[in-house]
Amino acid sequence: MIIVMERNVDTEKIRMVSLRLEEKGFQVHLSQGVERTIMGAVGERTQAIMELFETMAGVEKIVPIVQPFKMASREFQSEATVVQVGNTIVGDGRVQIIAGPCAVESRERFMEVAFKVKEAGATMLRGGAFKPRTSPYSFQGLEEEGLKILAQARELTGLPIVTEIMDTRLIGMVAEYADLLQVGARNMQNFFLLRELGKINKPVLLKRGVSATIEEWIMAAEYIISSGNKQVIMCERGIRTFENYTRNTLDLSAVPLIKQLTHLPIIVDPSHGTGKSKLVEPMALAAVGAGCDGLMVEVHQNPSEAWSDGPQSLTPDNFEKMVKKIMAMKDALDNLA
Residue 174 interaction partner, one of Mn ion, ligand PEP, none, beta carbon < 5-8 Å per kind: none
β-bridge pairing 88-90 and 83-85: antiparallel
Residue 100 interaction partner, one of ligand PEP, Mn ion, none, beta carbon < 5-8 Å per kind: none
Our CB check for ligand PEP shows the closer of 130 and 223 to be: 130
**According to CB under 5 A, which one of 41, 62, 90, 102 is a site residue for Mn ion?**
102
- Closest approach, Cβ 137 to ligand PEP, in A, equals 17
- Closest approach, Cβ 24 to ligand PEP, in A, equals 40
Residue 207 interaction partner, one of Mn ion, ligand PEP, none, beta carbon < 5-8 Å per kind: ligand PEP
- Closest approach, Cβ 132 to ligand PEP, in A, equals 6
| Residue facing ligand PEP at closest CB distance | 184
d(CA 295, CA 199): 26
Q: Does 309 bind Mn ion (CB under 5 A)?
A: yes
Q: Judge whether 14 and 30 are in contact, CB under 8 Å.
A: yes
Our CB check for ligand PEP shows the closer of 154 and 237 to be: 237
Residue 179 interaction partner, one of Mn ion, ligand PEP, none, beta carbon < 5-8 Å per kind: none
Which residues of the chain form contacts with ligand PEP (CB under 6 A)? Answer: 102, 128, 132, 184-186, 207, 237, 272
- Closest approach, Cβ 250 to ligand PEP, in A, equals 11
- CA of 20: how far to CAs of 30, 41, 49, 164, 330, in Å? 14, 11, 11, 42, 48
- Closest approach, Cβ 297 to Mn ion, in A, equals 11
- CA of 319: how far to CAs of 90, 104, 284, 303, in Å? 20, 18, 11, 12
d(CA 326, CA 179): 24
Q: Does 129 bind Mn ion (CB under 5 A)?
A: no
- Closest approach, Cβ 187 to ligand PEP, in A, equals 8
Our CB check for ligand PEP shows the closer of 132 and 172 to be: 132
β-bridge pairing 232-236 and 37-42: unpaired
- CA of 291: how far to CAs of 225, 257, 284, in Å? 23, 10, 11
Q: Judge whether 102 and 308 are in contact, CB under 8 Å.
A: yes
Our CB check for ligand PEP shows the closer of 9 and 206 to be: 206
Residues that bind Mn ion (CB under 5 A): 102, 309
